[in-house]
Amino acid sequence: MIRPNYYNGIIERYRDRLPVDEETRVITLCEGDTALIRLENIEKEIGLGIELYAKFEGLNPTGSFKDRGMTMAVTQAVSEGAQAIICASTGNTSASAAAYAARAGIRAFVLIPQGKIALGKLAQAMIEGACVIQIKGNFDDGMRIVKEVAAAAPVTIVNSINPYRLQGQKTAAFEIIDALGRAPDIHGIPVGNAGNISAYWVGYSEYAAVLPATASCSFCEERCRYPSAAVVQGRPRMFGYQAAGAAPFIRGEMVDDPETVATAIRIGRPQSWDLAWAAVNESGGAFASLSDEEILKTQRMLAEKEGIFCEPASAISVGGVLRDVKNGTIAPGSLITCTLTGHGLKDPDTAIKQSEGPVIEIPAELDAVKRAILENL
Ligand SMILES: *Cc1c(COP(=O)(O)O)cnc(C)c1O
């Protein structure tokens, strides 16, 4: 029995728009329903009548948006009788896969690039009981191997090439429209493997009762139930942001040795290449890149000005739209939403390294503390 006011995750909330049946056993951690935070202080600074919101996906149960996709992918895998799931990951997919596998009582195998994932993410996958396989290679190497393994062994891939992942992740777009009562003009989002930008575009399109080009995937031909009536008119322009050292969409070709401080998007061979291009082109949006320096500066700014602690990879969305407002790419008066994909606590090392806030060491005495306060007011 589910109590009437008990929130039980995205599948229950958007059941009629997701590929589940009455009898499906739903594997959920009550993901979704994340805060859409108005960035009041940044808005004031930038002016120009910009209305700016952050969809803080770090507030999901494992601290990233991956949970929206994972509840759907693991629910489907379990309904097909899978005993094990597998993924390549820059960290957050492994944390999420491990959690939902634990919940379902099945095994999770996760391939991660050695030394290149934030410590919090590794801690999650380990304590949630996943089999953690560190490879001496990057995410793209892991992805290639996972595809080969899944073709030969009885494991279900839960990377975003699994179409159920995108179905779950499209619900973030629904939530944004449900909260605002309209579609934003602009949506800014970090792009790594490019599943999420594709999923948002499906979600926005579905609420506008438009079939996106992305609906031509085999999954959608079979299972998508697009509504006949539009919930809102119009869809946002999609702006996808990449780290300069891992920017295949800006270069127009795959990148062999991606490098960036934003490890969650350290990907050179995005799997959802065509879907992401379709989202940007159909929506009249664009791809752009930011330097590591700009990324970290924005992460710090969000923390200092709005009290929001997100991952470096997440901050790129806000950094990107602010730059595009300043350079005129985004028009004054626009309503902008940005996805903050993951929580800053995942990667405390990077945060501490670049923090300017003083840490003062003094004796445990009243006078010393008083002095410290007066000197730093
Ligand atoms: C996975 C992830 C991304 C990239 O999302 P894609 O769907 O791979 O483009 C960005 N930020 C964070 C924090 C992530 O975990």
CA distance 139 to 127: 22
Q: What is the pLDDT of residues 84-119, one digit of tens each?
A: 999 999 999 999 999 999 999 999 999 999 988 999
Question: Does the pLDDT of residue 356 top 80, yes or no?
Answer: no
CA distance 82 to 283: 37
Cβ atoms of 276 and 191 closer than 8 Å: yes
Ligand 1: atom nearest CA of 342 is 13
CA-nearest of 238, 142, 136, 252 to 184 is 238
Res 229: pLDDT: 78
What's the CA-to-centroid distance between 233 and ligand 1, angstroms? Answer: 28
What would the 3-class secondary structure string for 129-198 be? CCEEEEECCCHHHHHHHHHHHHHHCCCEECCCCCHHHHHHHCHHHHHHHHHHCCCCCEEEEECCCCHHHH
Phi and psi, residue 52, nearest 5°: -130, 125
What's the CA-to-centroid distance between 107 and ligand 1, angstroms? Answer: 23
pLDDT band with cut points at 50, 70 and 90 for residue 216: very low
> Which of 66, 68, 70, 92 to mutate to test ligand 1, by most ligand atoms within 8 A of the CB atom?
92
Helix (H, G, I), strand (E, B) or coil at 281: helix
- Ligand 1 neighbour 143 (Cβ under 6 A): no
Q: What is the pLDDT of residues 273-328, one digit of tens each?
A: 999 999 999 999 999 999 999 999 999 999 999 999 999 999 999 999 999 999 99
Q: What is the pLDDT of residues 16-30, one digit of tens each?
A: 889 898 999 999 999
Res 218: pLDDT: 43
pLDDT band with cut points at 50, 70 and 90 for residue 224: low
Cβ atoms of 97 and 62 closer than 8 Å: no
Percent above pLDDT 90 for the chain: 88
Question: Does the pLDDT of residue 140 top 50, yes or no?
Answer: yes
pLDDT band with cut points at 50, 70 and 90 for residue 60: very high
Q: What is the pTM of this model?
A: 0.95
What mean pLDDT, rounded, does the chain reach?
A: 94
Q: What is the pLDDT of residues 170-203, one digit of tens each?
A: 999 999 999 999 999 999 999 999 999 999 999 9
Q: Which residues are CB-neighbours of 322 under 8 A, at least 6 positions away?
A: 42, 46, 298
Res 222: pLDDT: 46
pLDDT band with cut points at 50, 70 and 90 for residue 223: very low
CA-nearest of 334, 226, 328, 320 to 265 is 320
Cβ atoms of 63 and 92 closer than 8 Å: yes
- Mean pLDDT in residue range 335-363: 92
